[in-house]
Amino acid sequence: MREAADSSDGKSSAAAASPASTSAAPSRGSRLPTVLACVGALVVVATAVLYAPAAPSAVPAPSAADPAPNSAAVPAAKPSPNSPPSPPYVFSQAELKPFDGRASKTATIYIAIIGNVYDVTAGRKFYGPGREYSHFAGRDATKAFATGDSSPEGLTDSVEGMEMDELQSIAGWKSFYDEHAEYTFKGVVEGRYYAADGTSLDAFPWAKLKAHETASAERKAALPDCNSKWAQATGSEVWCTTRSGGVEREWVGKPRKYQPTLDPAMGENGAGERERCVCAPPDEIAKAPAYLLAYDGCAPDAERCVLGTTNTK
């Protein structure tokens, strides 16, 4: 509580004593030396003021952004579900763990994928305690986004040894969170994918994934997917047209089972690619490559094949 101001004006209550007035007033002649002395004093004072050096400008007080020397910066408070940090923030794994929605019914929920942290509180019915995806909350479980393995061993951020289609699935999930209208990016996790200062460690094989997608797209343009349908009475049926696979062309092609791991054009990018039905052009079929197989029970020159219960993939 601020103290009250002193109401005193600081002046002494006693009147200043006046000099004795009993002496006679001095004559005009006797006042001249006194006047000259006063004028001389004024000249001295004026000269001192005129030639006095300018006062130094005041040194500005240090701001919060530029603390005074020897002053310690106040450390930022640790983030908590009830006091989330301002993004972007570099989380340690220990700091991320409490954001699992268990602190209260309204506690903030964070998940992480490929080291990127997202606020998914709006999806509490999915990520909240006891819900279907609660095992993702408060941790980076990158691998589980592709495998669905919610065991302690499966809830890891490592993607070592994963197939290309699994990496594609993980990349797809990250895009899902990036583009979601209600889920927001909050920062990164220090560890496998990011350094303590938030610098990317390039641990996720983005370049390899991009190269694979490029090679796959080029091969799908040359070997478009078949049209297909399934009926309980007849099973699977595949066929080719000049627009099958979403690729418009002049030739129709013949249905063939494509094995990308044997395709030299795919190289190492064929690893992880699944077999599928493609519409192979006549010139490609004429080479009889090992990666194009005719379906059993289907004429080699047929444009439509009924495969029954045979898997076309």
Residues 230, 289: one domain?
A: yes
**257 lies in a domain?**
yes
Residues 183, 251: one domain?
A: no
65-80 average pLDDT score: 42
Strands of 227-231's sheet in order across:
227-231, 235-239, 304-308
Distance (Å, whole) CA 313 – CA 131: 33
- Give me the pLDDT at residue 248, please: 95
Of the pLDDT bands very low, low, confident and very high (cuts 50, 70, 90), residue 77 is low
In which domain, by residue range, is 298 found? 219-308
Residues 230, 278: one domain?
A: yes
Supply the mean pLDDT for the chain: 79
**20 lies in a domain?**
no
246-263 average pLDDT score: 95
Of the pLDDT bands very low, low, confident and very high (cuts 50, 70, 90), residue 21 is very low
Residues 298, 224: one domain?
A: yes
201-207 average pLDDT score: 95
- Helix 164-179 vs helix 206-222: angle between axes, to the nearest 10 degrees? 110
Cβ(235)–Cβ(273) under 8 Å? no
Please return the burial class of 42, using the count of CB atoms within 10 Å of its CB with bins 0-12, 13-18 and 19+.
Answer: exposed
Percentage of residues in the chain having pLDDT higher than 90: 61
The structural domain count of the chain equals 2
Distance (Å, whole) CA 269 – CA 260: 8
Residue type, 38: C
pLDDT digits over 84-99, tens only?
Answer: 788 789 999 999 999 9
- The number of angstroms, rounded, from the C-alpha of 244 to the middle of its chain's C-alpha atoms is 39
Please return the burial class of 116, using the count of CB atoms within 10 Å of its CB with bins 0-12, 13-18 and 19+.
Answer: buried
**242 lies in a domain?**
yes
Smallest CA-to-CA distance from 127 within 115, 114, 144 is with: 144
Distance (Å, whole) CA 300 – CA 293: 10
Last residue of a domain, one of 165, 197, 229: 197
- The number of angstroms, rounded, from the C-alpha of 212 to the middle of its chain's C-alpha atoms is 24
- Give me the pLDDT at residue 30, please: 47
Whether pLDDT at 58 is above 50: no
**72 lies in a domain?**
no
Residues 189, 227: one domain?
A: no
Q: What is the CATH number of the domain that holds 187?
A: 3.10.120.10
pLDDT digits over 152-167, tens only?
Answer: 999 999 999 998 889 9
Distance (Å, whole) CA 101 – CA 119: 11
pLDDT digits over 38-56, tens only?
Answer: 445 444 444 443 444 443 3
Residues 183, 231: one domain?
A: no
